[in-house]
Amino acid sequence: MTVNIALVGLGYWGPNLARNFAATKGGKLHTLCDARPDRLEHVGAQYPGVRTTTDFDTVLADPDVHAMVLATPPKTHHPLGLAAMAAGKHLLVEKPLANTSAECEDLIRAAAARSLTLMVGHVFVYNPAVRRVRELIASGDLGDILYVYSQRLNAGQVRQDANALWNFAPHDLSILTYWLGTVPVSVVARGYAFVQPGIDDVVFMTLDYPGGIGANVHISWLDPLKIRRMTIVGSEKMVVYDDVSADEKITIYDKAVKKTAASDPDPRLVSLPSYETFDEFQVRLRLGDVLIPRLDFAEPLRFETQHFVDCIVSGRTPDTDGEAGLQVVRTLEAAQRSLDEQAARARRAS
């Protein structure tokens, strides 16, 4: 079976999706759709033989189209997604899945009712480095996960239709959910709007996960450096995942603070100064090796697009299914409520 795919939306991310879907095994880039004729002509010229149209309804009515990909503004994901699945099309939606958790639930129900594949484009889940970190966590090699902190910073990409939270944080939240296998029990966020009134450019978000795991996410499109870094601190080892680095995407530190017997001969243990006296035990820092594992790295979007096609053919549930998209949106909603409460307090105080 060849899965014919229609891509709707040829803005910033659409051309990347087109390039990767054109190379999938078992899939075929069948149709390109965008409301702007000039954009359609520009991208369509790169794919001779692929149909082009400005009419979304034409795509819905085409029986040769088996699946649709929405790379359109988030506010359109719910209505366009429901229309696509009502027409019997499998669906991949770029992040976030929708603007509200209620809209996400609508999409999930529609997919289930028609036995269709619903997938959300949490592309970092398909990143080989992110997957290797998950393997390290699952193996227990890091010990108990204590906390995670993330920085997703850049200069530019200032948007008017979404704040930095909704634009950037879905990436970090999808990674955290994938790594920890659970969702936060509480969320607190603080934001700052410097460029456009009411649209936060900088957000600091603190999350509490089951088991006492803490996480902090710093996101900004108003920063001098491009940083895409996450640090996982375990009771036995620590890991830094740096997506910007070309050859050191994962660094594993055999380092931990341990309460051990003072007589422990392990040469990696260094005593730490303390204002308390311990008779038999000391708090000691273990300093071991630093390891940069070799990764066979390929474009994550290539893995994501192939996974979508494979799930349609096999009937398998995608790794980033509708439920995964719903979990991220619920967390974003909680963070947004916290931002709104902060803004209300600031207005009352002024």
Q: What is the CATH number of the domain that holds 41?
A: 3.40.50.720
pLDDT-derived band at 138 (thresholds 50, 70, 90) equals: very high
Query: For the ranges 25-29, 49-53, 278-282, which has the lowest average pLDDT?
Result: 278-282
Q: The CATH number of the domain where 171 resides is what?
A: 3.30.360.10
Residue 159 confidence (pLDDT): 81
Same domain, 165 and 36: no
Note whether residue 350 is domain-resident: no
Number of domains into which the chain is organized:
2
| Cα 127–Cα 96–Cα 106 angle in degrees, nearest 5 | 125
Note whether residue 316 is domain-resident: yes
Same domain, 138 and 251: yes
* Residues 96-113, mean pLDDT to the nearest whole number: 98
Cα 171 from Cα 123, distance rounded (Å): 8
Residue 233 confidence (pLDDT): 97
Same domain, 150 and 290: yes
pLDDT-derived band at 14 (thresholds 50, 70, 90) equals: very high
* Residues 99-123, mean pLDDT to the nearest whole number: 98
Q: Domain limits at 69?
A: 3-122+300-321
Residue 61 predicted with pLDDT over 60: yes
Note whether residue 186 is domain-resident: yes
DSSP character at residue 206: E
* Residues 207-235, mean pLDDT to the nearest whole number: 96
Residue 166 predicted with pLDDT over 70: yes
Backbone angles phi, psi at 256, to 5 degrees: -165, 155
Same domain, 162 and 290: yes
Beta strand 202-209 with 213-220: parallel, antiparallel or unpaired?
antiparallel
pLDDT-derived band at 278 (thresholds 50, 70, 90) equals: very low
Note whether residue 232 is domain-resident: yes
Residue 263 predicted with pLDDT over 60: no
Residue 279 predicted with pLDDT over 80: no
Q: pTM for this structure?
A: 0.89
Residue 275 confidence (pLDDT): 43
* Residues 276-296, mean pLDDT to the nearest whole number: 67
Residue 258 confidence (pLDDT): 65
Query: For the ranges 192-196, 259-263, 310-314, which has the lowest average pLDDT?
Result: 259-263
Same domain, 202 and 285: yes
Note whether residue 78 is domain-resident: yes
Note whether residue 55 is domain-resident: yes
Cα 168 from Cα 139, distance rounded (Å): 29
Structure tokens at 147: 């906390």
Residue 91 predicted with pLDDT over 50: yes
Residue 298 confidence (pLDDT): 87
Residue 92 predicted with pLDDT over 60: yes
- Taking each continuous run of H as one helix and of E as one strand, the counts in the chain are 9, 15
Same domain, 97 and 146: no
Backbone angles phi, psi at 35, to 5 degrees: -70, -15
Residue 22 predicted with pLDDT over 60: yes
Q: In whole numbers, what is the pLDDT of the chain averaged over residues?
A: 92
Higher pLDDT, 278 or 65: 65
Cβ 85 vs Cβ 116: under 8 Å: yes
Residue-wise pLDDT tens digits, 169-186: 999 999 999 999 999 999
